[in-house]
Copies of this chain bind each other. A is one copy, B any other.
């Protein structure tokens, strides 16, 4: 086969092909039903016909039309994925994994973003439902719990970052408390006592969990919680800058900062730098999510690492299970701490 032919066969095999299963049947001298059965393995077919059909298929370059198939089977073979932001590196990794896993199981993934806004998210979900997706993965949804429960009657749901118990809902990676605890414990372990926390948006379950983990770690170490060391953020770098500025302006003393996510930490590091404070010499900084870029910040950021690819893969697997009516056994993916150079020990 010449190179050009090869390319044609690879790429145009399935394209706008007016080739239908009917034509394959005619070519092979069998009925459409038989072709369908061979295609789907839904019944035994005599060997000779199988060969004839296979020959016809490759001769005509037939690919079954997924639309017709969906209609006939009453299944769209697609699942919706609502991400908060297609652009975020954190979600990006998760999405890749979801995509990969779903394709492998012959589902199409419809990605759509919610922009961290309730109304947008609702609109996105409606859109997906109108497209007849068979299930929906909601990454860190911010919809009210009751609404999610209702939604689940229409299509099974996978939720990340929050815990909702209801039929046809499965939650993954529900608890950030442990991760936050890990980060804070580490700082404490390194001798820090005055640890600030740049929190995430208060309407996000995971942001609250991170705060809770921080508090737990403090109290376990008998360090009194100082609310003036906690400032609100919004999971953005700009928010992180504002947080540090606020802390410094109000003359708080602190030797370490636990940021609710990496982006916040980036902003924090920049703000500290601007104020002439060196990281980690004067202030240790720790983030959450361990974005790929965090290996390359100056200094490289210590961060709570989440198994993003694994999370995505599990989400995809879980939605498939749910769609196919099986039950999913819950299993959170543990977080670990990626220790790099933005933190240092106060002990000597």
Contacts and interface: CB of A to CB of B under 8 A. Distances in A.
A95 B86 contact: yes
A103 B67 CA distance: 19
A96 B85 contact: yes
B108 A66 contact: no
B96 A103 contact: no
Nearest to A4: B146
A230 interface: no
Interface string A134-174: 00000000000011001101110000000000000000000
A4 B179 CA distance: 35
A76 B66 CA distance: 10
Given A67-B132, A130-B14, A109 B111 contact: yes
A13 B237 CA distance: 39
A232 interface: no
A130 B63 contact: yes
Interface in A104-150: 108-113, 122, 125-127, 129-132, 146-147, 150
A152 to B, nearest CB: 10
Nearest to A268: B296
A122 B237 contact: no
Contacts of A112: 99, 103
A110 to B, nearest CB: 6
A276 interface: no
A266 B237 contact: no
A90 to B, nearest CB: 9
Contacts of A4: 146, 150
A43 interface: no
Given A10-B126, A12-B150, A63-B130, A270 B300 contact: yes
Given A63-B129, A270-B298, 18 more contacts: A4-B150, A11-B129, A12-B153, A13-B126, A14-B130, A15-B155, A16-B129, A65-B71, A66-B130, A67-B67, A85-B96, A87-B292, A99-B112, A99-B113, A103-B112, A273-B298, A297-B297, A297-B298
Interface of A: 4, 7-8, 10-17, 63, 65-68, 70-71, 76, 85-89, 92-93, 95-96, 99, 103, 108-113, 122, 125-127, 129-132, 146-147, 150-151, 153-155, 237-238, 241, 263, 266-267, 269-270, 273, 292-293, 295-300
8 contacts: A11-B151, A14-B126, A15-B129, A63-B130, A71-B71, A87-B95, A92-B92, A270-B300
